Amino acid sequence: MAEALVIVDVQNDFCEGGALAVEGGAALAAELSEFLEDSHGEYDVIVATQDWHIEPGSHFSDSPDFQRTWPVHCVAGTRGADLHDDLDTERIQARFLKGLFDDGYSGFEGRLGDPDRTGLKEGEKEKAVAPADVIEEGAPDLNTYLQQQGVETVTIVGIATDHCVRATALDAADNDYEVRLLKNLTVGVDEDRIAETYEELREAGVELLRSDEL
């Protein structure tokens, strides 16, 4: 039974100093690197998801409500959309880019892509990026990719517990994977919503653990 680790949205804009920072995001990136160093051999597949917004419509707002609308963040090709420097990407086998033209909360909405294909250097990272620059025609979505790898169990970590981690875990359960969420390797925005998210995930059959309980 193949198992996948899905690292959700550990990106610069979701960490301290970013456009939509979540407290503890940078520390989480470093903790995930340690986890990967110690535990990568337990996973057959390791993937990451990234917000990769081009024209996400009403997802962006000059007057965000921080529920359905948000400040501009993770714009495709910019530094803010990059995975955080403290996240060791050596063992990440594939990246799934989501939210190009919509909200893109769930990693299962993402398609296999290569952000490095843009060829943009650090000083150029405000140039427009087209989908074809990073996603090949016919690239699989996350569910298709996991099925191709024979994955039956999905372990989820990342940012933010009460938003994209939640949506990704629920979609994993809806797609009939055995799903685990590692609570100590996620960070969220609102404590009340995190508690509600945990209850919702339990009801969906998601197992909530700490990494030392695996």
Active site members: 9, 98, 164
Q: Tell me the two tokens of residue 138.
A: 């016919």
For 30, the enclosing helix (H) or strand (E) is: helix 25-39
Q: Could you tell me where the beta strands, DSSP code E, fall in the chain?
A: 2-8, 45-51, 94-98, 111-113, 151-159, 178-187, 207-209
Ordered alpha helix ranges (H), 78-190? 142-148, 166-174
50 three-class SS: strand
Tell me if the bond preceding 160 is cis, omega within 30° of 0.
Answer: yes
d(CA 21, CA 76): 17
Burial per residue of 15-42, b for 16 or more beta-carbon CB atoms within 10 angstroms, e otherwise: beebbbbbebbbebbebbbebbeeeeee
